Structure 1
Amino acid sequence: MENVDLNLLIALDVLLDEASVTGAARRLGLSPSAMSRTLTRLRSATGDPLLVRAGRHLVPTPYATDIRDRVHALTRDAQAVLRPQHREVDLKALDRTFVLRANEGFLNVVAAPLVTAIMKEAPWIRLRFAPKPDKDALPLREGRIDLEIGVRGASAPEIRSRLLFRDAFIGVARIDHSLFMDGNISVARYAACHHVVTSRRGTFRGPVDDALEQLGYQRAVSVVVPGFPDALEIVRQSDLVTHVPRSCLANLSDESAGISRLRPFQLPVKTPEIAISAMWHPRQNADPAHRWLRDRVQAVCRKVLAR
């Protein structure tokens, strides 16, 4: 809109409403001379006198009378668009699909209670859980993913995030594994076991290997699987041991541990803490429905993973 000053629209709306240069100047906080110059610019822009003198007063021209309601509506709409929004969302009527991306371990623990919480408040919401093969932010940037759950990367600084919970790796073995025989799981005994590890990239090495190496140990990684549930299932039926985020075991109570044949244990080496966040693109930041979704995800995580 080259050479168009949209501030003139507001001035025109007030001038047509007041039918007075002095009155319009007072409302807009301008001097009468500045308002008079603005009227001159409006006359030049529209090619119409707009307000003409009739005795001691100004009266609108036929063109000004014709456009007065349109100008007022346009001004109101423009101000509404540029005003900070405080919209409310009708959750009972909200008909929308949200796409969430998270790994299998998170979904196994949080998906069911999250769906229950969301359906209770917004029964017409649809959730689609997408696989998480990597940390690529492109799906968020392109709008193919509404919310991602995981460890925040450094490749997309514009992505917004909110910390959901802090996690840590914990060891897991079959409940009757020989590792538990004397109650003391030393670094040497742990490293001597055969291990199954989880890696989306299919790598045999991870933070546990780095920690063992610093202490002069090396472990035998026999199996690599793409997801934590796969590792737990292998451990359940073999003599291999694994490590998973503590949150993966949140739905295994003490009573169910015997049935599941899994027993967690504290790793004999120290590994970095895991910060799990919800991530979204800035385009979604002010959307009230998306903000509600972020709040529900955080609330469910706090409830399910509280410890």
Structure 2
Amino acid sequence: MNIDELDLDFRLLRLFITIYDQGSVTAAATLLGVGQPTVSHGLERLRQVVGDPLFVRAGRGITPTAHAHDLAPRIRHLLEDMRSLTRIDQFDPHNPQHHLHCTIGANDYEAAVLLPTLFARVQALAADITFKIRPVRRKQDMIDKLRDGKLDMAITIDYGGDASDIMQRSLFDENVQCYFDPRFHSTPPDTLERYCAASHARVVFDDDDEASAIDTELARIGRSRRTVLQVATFGNLPRLISGTPVITTLPIRLADSVMAGYAVCRCPVVLPSYVFCQSWHVRNAASRSHQWLRDEIFRIARTIAGRKSKQ
């Protein structure tokens, strides 16, 4: 049988992605509404075109080969591009007839630092643009909601993108500093001794994962700190520790918003900076309105990245 790359078509590519996502020929056949022999025949054609087994036996199921893992994100892009050929997708933010309704996954850091500028910008535009902001507590929760459409995009700390159907773009780096009431600290808690001697408040988003990079690093060097308060959001913390000697270690850029009015000093625990990203599902990659929004967020992030910290 003479088969070459021109034998690849939308159906074969969709068949590959369905098998890849389902991890089963039988499940793929059910989802596609065809018989298992049809899927098996299509898979054999793919193997001949690509020159790789693509999926191999693993116990009672199958697992993708390394080449299949490499192909998956590229094929998703191809499928999305092919779908976009059949739809008109234009977006002009200055046209009152154009619409963008977006659900964004973000926590209160992003709501304090980045989203106010974005929201202010869109209010000056003619297009019908609306947002829903939903919290994101766990990496897998974010991925699942992007996949099923409950989120159109997310702005979070970089989760270490390892999902082939989730795309990412880095926005800016962030680090932490100490916040404290100077009335209770004649000397800033900027040494390990003063830092470890102080009482601390922490923000813990996920009750199932209370690990802290600070506590891990302190344990590594044989030190520890005493946490007297844990809260689920940044917004509640300043009111709770106001008028107390309790200190907290939070992102630097919260100094102008959530933690306004608190004194700051460097954190004596040396930690690497972390990256904030925007993430979206590949199905939205070619959408003109989503592209416009992602570019707006990126432009705002570039401004944020250039701001000096208050340290």
Normalised by the shorter chain, which TM-score bucket? 0.5 to 0.7
Amino acid at match of 1:90: D
Q: Equivalences for 1:1-307 in 2 at 5 Å?
A: 88-91=90-93, 92=95, 93-135=97-139, 136=141, 137-154=143-160, 156-178=163-185, 181-182=186-187, 185-202=190-207, 205-251=211-257, 260-307=260-307
* CA–CA distance in structure 2, aligned partners of residues 82 and 110 of structure 1: 30
Specify the code of the residue in structure 2 equivalent to 1:102.
A
Work out whether residues 170 and 244 of structure 1, in 8 Å CA contact, stay in contact via their aligned partners in 2.
yes
Tell me, in whole angstroms, the C-alpha distance in 2 between the residues paired with 1:160 and 1:191. Answer: 40
Superposition RMSD in Å: 2.6
Structure 1 residues 13-61: Cα deviation after superposition (integer angstroms, max 9, x where no partner): xxxxxxxxxxxxxxxxxxxxxxxxxxxxxxxxxxxxxxxxxxxxxxxxx
**Alpha-carbon distance in 1 for matches of 2:190, 2:252:** 18
2:265 maps to a residue whose letter is: F
Sequence identity, in percent? 21
Once residues 238 and 209 of structure 1 are traced to their aligned partners in structure 2, the CA distance between those partners, rounded to angstroms, is: 22
Shift in alpha-carbon separation, 1:183–1:271, aligned structure 2, 3 A: same
Q: Which amino acid aligns with 2:163?
A: A
CA displacement 1:238-290 (0-9 Å, x = unmatched): 211111111222447xxxx8xx5401211001113111000000000010100
Relative distance call for 1:200 and 1:182 in structure 2 (3 A) is: closer
Deviates more, 1:263-272 or 1:242-251: 242-251
- For structure 2, the residue ranges without an aligned partner over 5 or more in a row are 1-6, 8-81
Amino acid at match of 1:129: I
Change (3 A) 1:211 1:120: same
Secondary structure of residue in 2 paired with 1:249: helix
Q: Distance in 2 between matches of 1:266 and 1:97?
A: 40
- Code of the aligned partner of 1:89: F
Q: Deviations over 1:191-232 (max 9, x none)?
A: 111111011123554111112122221100111111122223
1:236 Cα deviation from its structure 2 partner: 2.7
Q: Which runs of 4+ in 1 moved over 3 A?
A: 80-88, 202-205
Aligned residues: 221
In structure 2, give the amino acid aligned to 1:106: E
TM-score by length of 1: 0.65
Q: Structure 2-normalised TM-score? A: 0.64
